[in-house]
Amino acid sequence: MKMPHAILSHRSSTSLLLTLFVGSVAFVLLLLPLRFIGTHDMDAMRLVPLSLLRDGDIDLREFAPFVAYVVEEVNGRLLPIHPIAPALLALPIYSSVEFFGELNTTRDVLILTKVLAAFTIWAALVFLWFTFRRWIQSLKAVTLSFLVGFGTLLWPVAAQDFRDHTVIVFLLAVTLFIMMRRSLTAREVAGAAFLLGLLVTVRLTTVVIAFPLFVALFFAARPHMRFMLTAFFPLAALALYNTVFFGSPFSHGYETSFAIMRSFDLPWWYPVVNAATLLVNPSKGLFIYSPFFLFSIVGAWMSWRQRIVTVETIVLRAASVAVFATLAVYSFVNVTHGGTGFGSRYLIDIIPLLAVLLIPVVQKFRSVQWSVAWIVFGAWAILVQFAGVLFFDESWHAQYDPGFVNPTSFRPSWVWDARIPPEPLYYLHKF
């Protein structure tokens, strides 16, 4: 006779307590440092919930001194140039805090957004952990989740300020948790499709992530195709917002940013240089900050070599396409590394995809050599992010970035100047 499931064995109880302890430590670490490392790009977005709660609109004229260049005046309103989906998702938290006392427009808001960002990334890591433990051993799943959380830009960037990248990571983590399974129910298909539509409303360039995953969802859940229509609900809401406030479903505040990005006359070969910048540049390259993501390339290759095509194989292939498409898109952006900030913030969006592409590698390769490589790459990655968390203060950009003071003097190739010390080493030297 089997014991009831409600009665936990000593081993399972210990495992649960250990998991809760690691999760609690992870959340506390995500709150580090005890200072705000944010961006002025989100100044307007942080105040949209306050404007909605206090005035019932998103006109930010009363906050004009705090929002600077991230707003646009349209028909007498001062509107944020970025999509407001992150602000709307944060609205319940803002309203709960406001219930107990009015938020100050500076210090209190910054504290709230920092805590909210840390919690959101922590929740994303929990969903990634649930996804990992379906396919690899529990201890390896915890270790991999910890490495993704603290060996990537999730810690020094996404967890420090509640912004579009923070929300994208969370939505992708939940979507992958839903899709990475043996089979999908109608409810799961509807939920995944809705999240993919919501993803695009948060940041328009994520369409190159959402579309491959949407195609994967189509092939993985053909009996439930009609439930994929839920993806269009958030997209319709975005089109309605654009029509009401900007006059057309295809107009948005980003147009000003795109015009600035196009104002530079780039040679044809710059996308190649920019792609190299995103991946291997000593100051901004993905594989410099998180070298263990080199194994994600192996995982992508393994997914395409798989002869027996399952749901998870389809999802992994779609993830690899989405990663490649994202790199291609941002290779055509002038400020390809995302401007002033630690590392290349644009690539934060694909971290959950790169994370699940590690699963086939962890499953197959277990030799001592691979273990040593994981330890070396992981230790370096965590050390670099820790340096960013403790010491990032924009001083490296202030000293070496020609566009830091005057954006019109920006040169996309400046990060390849051999006379400039690599950004990770610059902040590591502060220890």
DSSP-derived secondary structure letter, 415: G
pLDDT value, residue 156: 95
β-pair partners for 74: 77
Whether residue 4 is contained in a domain is answered as no
Whether residue 127 is contained in a domain is answered as yes
pTM score of the predicted model: 0.92
For 326, list phi and psi in degrees, rounded to 5: -65, -45
Q: Report the SS3 class of residue 59.
A: coil
pLDDT value, residue 409: 62
Whether residue 122 is contained in a domain is answered as yes
Whether residue 7 is contained in a domain is answered as no
pLDDT value, residue 13: 61
pLDDT value, residue 384: 98
pLDDT value, residue 284: 96
pLDDT tens string 74-123: 888 898 888 899 999 999 999 998 888 777 767 888 889 999 999 999 99
Whether residue 11 is contained in a domain is answered as no
DSSP-derived secondary structure letter, 71: E
Whether residue 18 is contained in a domain is answered as no
Whether residue 17 is contained in a domain is answered as no
pLDDT tens string 351-387: 999 999 999 999 998 888 899 999 999 999 999 999 9
pLDDT value, residue 76: 84
pLDDT value, residue 237: 94
Q: Tokens in use for 90?
A: 């944060």
pLDDT value, residue 101: 78
- H-helix segments, 182-310: 186-202, 207-220, 232-246, 254-262, 270-280, 286-289, 294-305
pLDDT value, residue 201: 94
Q: Answer whether 194's CB lies under 8 Å from 74's CB.
A: no
**Domain residue limits at 352:** 32-248+265-428
Whether residue 135 is contained in a domain is answered as yes
| Domains identified in the chain, total number | 1
Those residues of the chain that have pLDDT short of 70 are 1-18, 105, 253-266, 405-410, 412
